[in-house]
Structure 1
Amino acid sequence: MRSRTRSTRLRVPFAATAVGLFALSLGSATATFWPVYGGAAFVVLVLVAFVVGAGIALGAAVLRLSSVWVLVATLVAYLAVGVPLAVPSQALAGVLPTGGGLLTLVSATALGWKRLVTIALPVGSYEALLVPVLVLVLVGTVVGLSVALRSRRGELAVVVPVVVWIAAIVLGPAEAWWPRVTGLGLLVTVVAWVVWWRLRRRRVALDALTGRVPGTSAGHRPVVVRAVVGTLVTLAVAGAAGTVVVSVAPPATSRTVARTVVEQPFDPRDRVSPLTGFRAYEQEPAVDGTLLRVTGLRDGQRLRIATLDTYDGVVYSVGSGDVDSASGFFTRVPSTVDQSAVEGERSTVGVTVEAYDELWVPTVGQLESVAFDGPTADARRDEFFYNDVTGSAVVLGGLQQGDSYRLEAVVPRQPGEDDLGALTPGTATVPTPRDVPDELASSLEDDVAGLREPGERLQAALAALREDGYVSHGVSADEPVSRSGHGADRIAQLFTDPVMIGDAEQYATAGALMADQLGFPARVVMGFAPQTDEGQTGEGQTGEGDTVDVTGSSITAWIEVDTAQYGWVALDPNPAERPIPEDQVQDPTQISRPESVVQPPPQDAQVRDDQTPPQSEQDDPETPPAWLATLLLIARIAGWSALVAGLLAAPFVTVVVLKARRRRRRRSASSPSARISGGWHEFQDAVVDHGIRTPPAATRSEVAAVVGGSRPAVLARVADRAVFSPNAPVEADADRVWTAVAEMRRALGVGLTRRQRFAAAVSLRSLRGYHGRTRPERQRNN
């Protein structure tokens, strides 16, 4: 019988309303994770985790279980549903946990958070990356509903959705528009939750006082109206404060989240530029040795090793420390990468590693998925990082002989030869090259003389390279001298020697610098261009079983320029290999001159007045003065601090304003009698707000007796005489009463701590009309 009595304490209407409102609030917060995960697996996880968590919280509330049993039940449920929901790839028949799945679930509980911020989004159900949101939803539901159903302060349950919303922002992408939408929904549901709890607490108190059966009391329209108005005033104050702050100090950069500040496992700036090792592929044993065996390559299709976009006068490298270059940001990728926005042809390529032992992974097009095979497959997949901006990929430990992988990619559509002249610069951002040789700029000016269209000028500059240049790697005795490197002095030599001699390392660098001078965002691509003419099938693609051997002699480099029509377009500036005319070499001192020492690039880019003005702006933004940046930072910090302070203080300011308005209305009443009566009510409200218990429906004398002292008793008699005496009081009596009330209100705070005085100032007891029904916090005797 005792257990049955306990099981009926939780009323169904109350529990249903609480669960419904909490579900709306938590759902609004959890929706912020959609850009992180996306897909049906995320939706199923959230729904099931909430249902399980709500079941645990409701059962614990009905049975009055202790927190220890609630914890045990939550852990059991987490282990039971965690694998099929968050690690579906390791669930038996999709619904039963396995031993390996449980180990993955437990390890991901501690480590999944960091892995989530080092991988490209969205992740879907890849590996165990759903574990963080499972922990937040399941534990948050249990904690939040337990507080709502079993705590005296059920309003505190809204902390859970707020925490989930903040976690979604921290773990999410840098784009801020979606959290604004979900944040608005969360604000509405949180306000509804708090208002419902406040009204419910008042209704319960009134039912207890009047003896009504709970659930049968009449509505209290004035209270509802006052609650709604107060809520609207609070939102208006907070919204106005936020609008002012954003208008005065708008954010100048993208939002900072965990993935933008966490140290990435791979930073290409810590590695030597792969272009510096270009000549090594042209030497023995790599030049004739098989580095890779590739299947699925189309005729003329190239394998990308690395994309380099930063030139400092010494080397072309990946990424920049001075400019926020997206090419330097490599992340782990989920099982698939969404390339639906890329217009092109799908390509499937299989690669088997032979003598190639670099960390750069040869790829084609824009990667959709990668699958490693063999005994090292799991290790290689965990060490695989990709940059979707450049299409480059790496394996941290480096590829080794015997590794194999299969790529699925989209090869972007490229313009035809006849369309190149109509190209115009795109809007991509690349670091501005530094220490560009004057000799290159002078040669470029001659090459494009008389041409106006950007595409035609670019065509003419690259055509001049191909026509004037000759290819020599300079690695064998029978080849003309060709110094390696692509620093500023080597590129200057390329344009000053009697015969232009170099290889793809120099021509690709020169082509990219020329394109940049003409206004096209440009970058250098290093890769392989294997011959696939043999063994072709059908439409110019090797069959599934046909294999292309990639040797070191297939190494090359080309450029990519960003265009408004096609995006990044691949262009080859390299001359065709042909005999070098020795009779044109007339200045032997030019050939035998010693190599000059390349000085470090200057801190500031040289300003040359003789350069051809670019057609589009791609220079780095000017750095504001230090004092201005400091002032902006201080203003931004002060603005956001004011916003947070305004949001926190808005409810308290609203209460103080309402009390001041009430006091002013009482003091400015039309008659002295009403002003004296209002003075007494003001004192009585102050008594209630200070937590002094007074009897229900007490007279003025009884209230004065509870407060204690002579002055409250005198004030009570004066108020009684003003109300009941046939002789109307005079204005001077009303003024003296309000002077006394002000002094007595101050006397109520004597001996109290600052916190107690603040609590009395923002107390809602007098606004609710709870005279005589306050908690027995303390008694006063003055």
Structure 2
Amino acid sequence: MSVTDKLSRQLQDETSALRDWAPLRAVIDVFIAVLCVGFAMMPILPAYGTPAALTAVMAGLIAAMVPVLLGAFLRWPFPLTMLVGIASYVVVGGTVAFGRDLVWGVVPSGQSMTSMLTGTVTSWKEALTLEPPLGQSDGVLVLPFLLAFLGAFLVSWVVGWRNSWLTTIIATGVVTLVLITSILWGTQETVLGSHLGVGLFMVLTVWATWRMKVWRPRRWASMSFFLAAVIAASTVLSGQFAPQAPRFVLRSIVIPPFDPRDQISPLSLYRHYVKDRAETPLVSVSGLPENGLVRLATLDAYDGVVWSVSGDQSRAGSGAFRRIGERIEQTAQGDPYDVRVKIEELDGVWTPTIGYLSAVDFDSGSVTDFRFNDATGAAVTIGGLRPGTSYRLQGVLPATPTDEELGETGVGKIALADVANIPDIIAQEAIAIGREGANVPLVIRKYEEYFQTRGYFSHGEATGGYPSLSGHGADRMDDLFSAELMVGDAEQYASAMALLARSQGVPARVVVGFIPEEGASDVTFTGADLSAWVEIYYNEYGWVQYFPTPPSSQTPNASQQEKDPEPEPEAVQLPPDPRPPATPPAVNTEDTEIDAQEDPIDESYDWFAIVRITAVVGIPLILLLAGPLIVIALKARRRGRRKHAPGQLSVIGGWQETLDDAFDLGIRPEKDLTRREAARFIETSQPQVPMRRLADTADRAHFSHGEWSAVDSEQYWLQVEESRRALARSVSWRRRVFAKVSPASLRARKAQRKADAEAAKLTAELFEQSTTPGQQKSVEQRQWSHAP
């Protein structure tokens, strides 16, 4: 078989292989693009705080990709593909986002499919106006499913429609848009911030070049090095120059419909309830278990004025409320309870709960403005409580551990809001009171007993009561300890005990709610029943209650009231003896060398900071300048080799150097032209450049058998430099700068050497086929006889 037949057969095989490879290549293209959409969805996942959000994203990607691929291989018209895609969105999305509305638990219902269509419009606003974590109930997963579906559908259709640079750029733009949207609808918590963006950029760059068949295997090493350098530089730069403030998201400027910090602290309203609404029925509870405390609010932030909920967006923050479904995942162990609650005259947003809640069911159906805090057990109703509202609570009530059990496990660690402006007397009393405690639980018990035994109870009634100011700010706490008699009610004692514990680093918080009488099961609480207590966090047991308020019967007697001290007789106070006049020190006027009282100048250098800043600034500069500097160095090395080559090779190298300069400047003659034809081509476009003389001299050096002296070579290179300067002057300065760092001539010479090697190999094969062994031997002998 001849060489021509071999090449023809090889071309046919490659064409057939490409034809068979095309469908698989299209599927790989679509899969990579859809996978990039999935990675671009990562910043939105922390806003939901549940693995179900990742499931929704994956379901959205598959639900969008499958109809597009089916439509492409079955050659469906676009409207049919669109209809199948919408059906996939409604059915699969309804199953993922509205699992409780499924028929028989697997078949989407009409309600779920309708909710998916309306969620296309409403989910964007809902995700911004709810406090994260959003959870997975009541259709909050519509947005991640919708965003993943739209992004995957667009990139799948664009990539499968046509293989061009335009569609590739559009697909890359869709992925970028999905990434930006995920960041804006996410939280201020960064998720692989710069690394995710750099990674997507690199993957999309490699995918685009591979898709358009301009990727070369030799670029793997350079691309890997560039990727590692960019990631290292981004890490260093982000740590040094990036601001440590939370990143911008839309929810930071969208005012949510409910912020618990805007509500009046229930502890501040304590006196209002116990005095002005003492006989008003507030809440009725039936089926209350033993030791079942009814919680209204949990407060863990103190600013020196009031106890309130914290604005922390973490799950441990008392101000983070979320919507819940029919069930709440609960890991606490204890006695189960089933309680019915009815709102009487209780107003505000704070909704009564009991113990560790696992389910809530309103009689009027799903209440969409009910929010729950997993960390504190508190709940709110956004629109405010309405008289007559009733609901059912289910959960568990843990047993109260003993001090011995608490001493074995120890105080736990949990994220709480900081307390500020604590009076100094609080820390002093905390040390003095707890001095006899052998461990932390016993110290906390000492705090509780101290208030129960030393304190007196009073609401500060106007008639017949002992004076007791309301409030629990820093001044009121200072008066509670410094007054002759410690007098207050649950508001002051709960606040004081919590501050004692927090001043010693013990996690404590204040709870406002109702404490039922012992043995009470069905009870109606009035304003006079409102109380407050303290919770301390322990390992293995969680939050344990303490009740520092003394009994209401423990009131101060009239004889214990402070009496104004009788005035003492005035005594004449003699003025103090005058001080002797100060004598200034003697100054030695002869001593002119007086040391200046100036602070010494610290001339030491922070070398670590200098090295760090140098690295931070140097790495980006190296990344930016490495490529151009390498190209310039390779060109200088090539020019030096050509100029210092022996004899005729130096002249031929000078001509090649001139052509390479013209090539980088954009003046590119055809490859098969002779030197004189190439010179004529250049002079036609650039008449001021003398090229024919260089071409003729290079031809004489190439085809003559005489020796060329070093002087002739140097004179030729002077002409080469003159021609190169003329070429540079003939173009704009921008093209001159670009030509300095352009690797075009380097790549062209490499490609030419490769082509020459292939041509020589092909010539050798033709020679072997067209000659006999004897002729080959004769030719080889002749070649050896003429060899130098």
- Same fold per superposition (TM over 0.5): yes
The answer to whether 1:469 aligns with 2:455 is yes
The 1:239/1:120 distance shift into structure 2, 3 A limit, reads closer
Deviation, 1:49, is 1.6
Counterpart CA distance in 2 for 1:685 and 1:102 is 68
For the 8 Å contact 1:360–1:394, the answer to whether it is kept is yes
Give per-residue Cα distances to partners, 1:507-546, cap 9 Å, x unaligned: 11111122123332332211122347245xxxxxxxxxxx
TM-score (norm 1): 0.71
Which residue of the partner structure matches residue 350 of structure 2? 360
Counterpart of 1:120 (choices 114, 132, 136) is: 132
Deviation, 1:300, is 1.0
Which residue of the partner structure matches residue 640 of structure 2? 668
For the 8 Å contact 1:305–1:525, the answer to whether it is kept is yes
For the 8 Å contact 1:87–1:105, the answer to whether it is kept is no
Counterpart CA distance in 2 for 1:85 and 1:758 is 57
Which residue of the partner structure matches residue 141 of structure 2? 129
Give per-residue Cα distances to partners, 1:699-737, cap 9 Å, x unaligned: 444444444234344454455455444444735257436
Deviates more, 1:670-679 or 1:354-363: 670-679
The answer to whether 1:160 aligns with 2:174 is yes
Which residue of the partner structure matches residue 620 of structure 1? none
- Counterpart of 1:357, as a letter, is D
Counterpart of 1:746 (choices 718, 728, 733) is: 728
Which residue of the partner structure matches residue 574 of structure 1? 549
Q: How does 1:420-459 map to 2 (within 5 A)?
A: 420=406, 423-424=410-411, 426=413, 428-434=415-421, 436=423, 438=425, 440=426, 443-451=429-437, 453-459=439-445
Aligned identity (percent) is 29
The 1:470/1:347 distance shift into structure 2, 3 A limit, reads same
Which residue of the partner structure matches residue 784 of structure 2? none
For the 8 Å contact 1:38–1:123, the answer to whether it is kept is no
Counterpart CA distance in 1 for 2:726 and 2:701 is 19
The 1:409/1:161 distance shift into structure 2, 3 A limit, reads farther
- Counterpart of 1:559, as a letter, is V
For the 8 Å contact 1:437–1:488, the answer to whether it is kept is no
Give per-residue Cα distances to partners, 1:464-483, cap 9 Å, x unaligned: 10112233334585654443
Counterpart CA distance in 2 for 1:642 and 1:73 is 55
Counterpart of 2:284 (choices 293, 298, 312) is: 293
- Counterpart of 1:332, as a letter, is R
- Counterpart of 1:430, as a letter, is A
2:217 partner SS: helix
TM-score (norm 2): 0.71
Q: How does 1:394-405 map to 2 (within 5 A)?
A: 394-405=380-391
Which residue of the partner structure matches residue 47 of structure 1? 62
Counterpart CA distance in 2 for 1:111 and 1:500 is 54
Counterpart of 1:508 (choices 480, 490, 494) is: 494
1:306 partner SS: strand
Deviation, 1:666, is 1.2
The 1:75/1:475 distance shift into structure 2, 3 A limit, reads farther
Give per-residue Cα distances to partners, 1:212-253, cap 9 Å, x unaligned: xxxxxxxxxxx522x223312322431342243245457645
Counterpart CA distance in 2 for 1:50 and 1:741 is 59
Deviates more, 1:102-111 or 1:37-46: 102-111
Deviation, 1:667, is 1.3
Which residue of the partner structure matches residue 553 of structure 1? 528
Deviation, 1:278, is 0.7
Counterpart CA distance in 2 for 1:306 and 1:489 is 24
For the 8 Å contact 1:295–1:349, the answer to whether it is kept is yes
- Counterpart of 2:61, as a letter, is V
Which residue of the partner structure matches residue 29 of structure 1? 40
1:448 partner SS: helix
Counterpart CA distance in 2 for 1:103 and 1:74 is 22
For the 8 Å contact 2:290–2:520, the answer to whether it is kept is no
Counterpart CA distance in 1 for 2:737 and 2:319 is 51
Give per-residue Cα distances to partners, 1:56-81, cap 9 Å, x unaligned: 6x479x79x9xxxx6x6786456433
The answer to whether 1:18 aligns with 2:29 is yes
Counterpart of 1:302 (choices 293, 302, 307) is: 293
Deviation, 1:550, is 3.1
Counterpart CA distance in 2 for 1:719 and 1:579 is 117
Counterpart CA distance in 2 for 1:413 and 1:685 is 87
Q: How does 1:743-782 map to 2 (within 5 A)?
A: 743=725, 746-747=728-729, 749-750=731-732, 766=745, 769=748
For the 8 Å contact 1:685–1:766, the answer to whether it is kept is yes
Deviation, 1:505, is 0.8
- Counterpart of 1:304, as a letter, is R
- Counterpart of 1:333, as a letter, is R
Which residue of the partner structure matches residue 210 of structure 2? 196
Deviation, 1:436, is 2.0
Give per-residue Cα distances to partners, 1:87-134, cap 9 Å, x unaligned: 443988677785884575355446525525734336336415323542
Counterpart of 1:736 (choices 707, 718, 725) is: 718
For the 8 Å contact 1:683–1:744, the answer to whether it is kept is no
Counterpart CA distance in 1 for 2:37 and 2:399 is 44
The 1:488/1:716 distance shift into structure 2, 3 A limit, reads same
Deviation, 1:432, is 2.5
The 1:296/1:86 distance shift into structure 2, 3 A limit, reads farther
Counterpart CA distance in 1 for 2:696 and 2:137 is 76
The 1:106/1:681 distance shift into structure 2, 3 A limit, reads farther
Counterpart CA distance in 1 for 2:496 and 2:355 is 24
1:557 partner SS: strand
Give per-residue Cα distances to partners, 1:14-61, cap 9 Å, x unaligned: 4234224334433443456555463344432221122234556x479x
The answer to whether 1:280 aligns with 2:272 is yes
- Counterpart of 2:58, as a letter, is V
For the 8 Å contact 2:271–2:459, the answer to whether it is kept is yes
The answer to whether 1:711 aligns with 2:726 is no
Deviates more, 1:343-352 or 1:354-363: 343-352
Q: What is the aligned length?
A: 666
Which residue of the partner structure matches residue 307 of structure 2? 316
Counterpart CA distance in 2 for 1:311 and 1:403 is 32
1:561 partner SS: strand
Deviation, 1:738, is 5.9
Give per-residue Cα distances to partners, 1:563-595, cap 9 Å, x unaligned: 4665543322122333535265142559xxxxx
1:333 partner SS: coil
Unaligned runs of 5+ in 1: 1-7, 203-222, 536-546, 591-634, 774-782
Counterpart CA distance in 2 for 1:392 and 1:412 is 16
Of the two, which has the highest radius of gyration?
2
Deviation, 1:503, is 1.4
The answer to whether 1:587 aligns with 2:562 is yes
2:496 partner SS: helix
Counterpart CA distance in 1 for 2:720 and 2:329 is 75
Which residue of the partner structure matches residue 602 of structure 2? none
Deviation, 1:361, is 1.7
Q: Which has the higher contact order (CA 8 A, sep 6+)?
A: 1
For the 8 Å contact 1:53–1:138, the answer to whether it is kept is no
Counterpart of 2:259 (choices 238, 263, 267) is: 267
Counterpart of 2:87 (choices 63, 80, 83) is: 80
2:297 partner SS: strand
Deviation, 1:400, is 0.5
